Amino acid sequence: MLINSIDLLAQTGISRATLNNYIKMGIVPQPLVKKPDDSSIKAKQLGYFHNSVLDRIEMIKRYKKEGRSMKEICSLLQLDNNRDDEKSSGKLFPESNKNESILLDNHQNNYQEKRCELVHEAQLDNSVKKRKEFQDSESQESNDIHLTIQEIHYPSYLINNKYEIEWINQEAEKIIFRRNIRSIKLAEERGIFRLLIDMGIPLDANRRIMDFHMSMFTRRSEKNEIEKLYPSITRNEMTMLGELYDRQADPSSDVHVENYMNLPGDPETLYQAHCIHFREGILCVFAPAGKMIQGVLDLLSRRGKLIRDLIKNRLPTQIQFAVMVADLQDSVRICAELPPEEYFSLINQIWKCMEGSFKKYYGTYGKHTGDGMVYYFLRNSDSNYIMNAIHCAIELRENMRKLSSEWKIKKGWFNELFLNIGVNEGEEYFGMIPASPSIEFTALGDSVNYAGRLSDFARYGCIWTTKNLINRLCNEERMKIHYGIRKKQHDREVLIENVFSRVMDLIPPDSANSLKFIDIATLPVTEVLKLR
């Protein structure tokens, strides 16, 4: 028995756009297109589906409610359109009428001609109440489908791989934590376990919300990593969390982690916890039991859009970091000398030779208001962010020397290619700036500005850094770096090692540059020469 597309949409409550997507994914079969049986429909052609499609759509809805992604659903329901398999899968369109029967067409061009009914502008009979109600409900569902992360009005938050909250909505602050989490600027103070313990949630009584988060930690981390959850963790807290870890990890334990729980700020309501894992972290959404709407589930199933929304709204965080600003010397002159295609080829080669070094030393590309390319080296427990920046800068200089030699041979010119580099260290607020078509990572403050000014100050491929950065290194690390100030003595240049100088003392008083660098005139700096 066949059902037309209008009745199908009315009975299932999905939109035409959603039905189109299901057909494109191959989880709903292509329709039989023919002249409408109902004379009240003015469209010349209408799509008809076998009644079994109703069960298929209900199955898709059920999988979505279970939190499955569309990729998983496609894997479970992918239709086999091979005619040789029809006997095992059953024919979708019974041949009760030879003039109306049609086999699924696997050719996209033919399908595009047949799917015209899915976008037809049917003039429905006003007396057909059911169809009118469908149009109203379809409009409402369309609004739900286009939800953003900010429009989820259930308690929700994203924790990163260090179990620190990076995004949270007002509902979670009010119903779960009962405090303003977004006002906490240090990421380490937004650790989920630290926040829960500070709330005084008893570990020996109703601890479902703690069990819920510890189950995530147990699946991904060893017990000895508990002491690294946050810097100020005490012995008693480590002991309590360790006991909780053991109960989760012990197969014989009677602990059963449930997704249903009451929340501290709303003990009368039963919430269902939804946990979505990403490379960037874990998104937790707490919806009243049975109240998770289709639009929210659809948003959670679209990983790319969800991650973009989360990144755009990530909380600004105060972070220690090293920053490198690099700029090609005399880029305007080189651009004027080269044909456009060769100049772009040169720039692409520069980026290519630099990209590997940034990845090797964990550099993160960022936005900066000045000129030059900017990379950040963030502090974390697994790497030395300052030494990473120094190593990367020296490697970039060597790579640029090789590229310069290649272009001398290629062009037969005498131009030298220099990448002038400034490096600094600081502690600033980091955040994301939404920009089309990408999202840019940026830090605000003098630390980045000083690195940019040092890049302007540097000439002929030099690497300049601040006294502040060198002082952040331990004695062993400082011994590995050959740095100092070049001084002119009579007619020769002398290198004085392990010293610094104010920028104003490195520029002759009568030089035009004395005014150009007045904003960093008193900044103590030194030149990084090489690694010992």
Q: What is the mean pLDDT of the chain?
A: 77
Residue with tokens 């380490």: 188
Helix ranges restricted to H, 462-526: 467-471, 475-479, 513-516
* CATH number where 227 lies: 3.30.450
- 70 and 93: one domain? yes
Q: Which domain holds residue 22?
A: 2-145
Give the Cα separation of 509 and 329 in Å (integer): 23
* CATH number where 509 lies: 3.30.70.1230
**Residue 42 tokens, joined:** 């003015």
Give the Cα separation of 285 and 271 in Å (integer): 10
Among 312, 333, 360, where does a domain finish? Answer: 312
Identify the residue with better confidence: 203 or 187: 187
Q: What are phi and psi of 60, to 5 degrees?
A: -65, -45
pLDDT in tens, 452-509: 999 999 999 999 999 999 999 999 999 999 999 998 887 888 999 999 999 999 988 7
Among 108, 126, 145, where does a domain finish? Answer: 145
Give the Cα separation of 449 and 244 in Å (integer): 46
pLDDT in tens, 386-429: 999 999 999 999 999 999 999 988 888 888 899 999 999 988 76
pLDDT bracket for residue 85 (50, 70, 90): very low
- 417 and 341: one domain? yes
Among 120, 145, 170, where does a domain finish? Answer: 145
Q: Decide if pLDDT at 202 tops 80.
A: no
- 521 and 473: one domain? yes
- 306 and 347: one domain? no
- 207 and 260: one domain? yes
- 331 and 471: one domain? yes
Number of domains in the chain: 3
- 321 and 267: one domain? no
Nearest to 156 by CA among 143, 138, 142, 172: 172
pLDDT of residue 96: 36
pLDDT of residue 530: 92
Specify the pairing of strand 32-34 against strand 46-50.
antiparallel
The pTM for the full model equals 0.52
pLDDT of residue 405: 92
Q: Ranked by mean pLDDT, which of 47-61, 463-477, 506-520 comes out on top?
A: 463-477
- 447 and 467: one domain? yes
- 279 and 335: one domain? no
- 419 and 500: one domain? yes
Q: What percent of the chain has pLDDT over 70?
A: 73
- 132 and 198: one domain? no
Name the CA dihedral angle for 347, 353, 357, 360, rounded to a multiple of 10 degrees. Answer: 120
- 228 and 82: one domain? no
Q: Do the beta carbons of residue 19 and residue 9 sit within 8 Å?
A: yes
Give the Cα separation of 173 and 384 in Å (integer): 34
Helix ranges restricted to H, 94-151: 108-114, 129-145
Give the Cα separation of 431 and 452 in Å (integer): 19
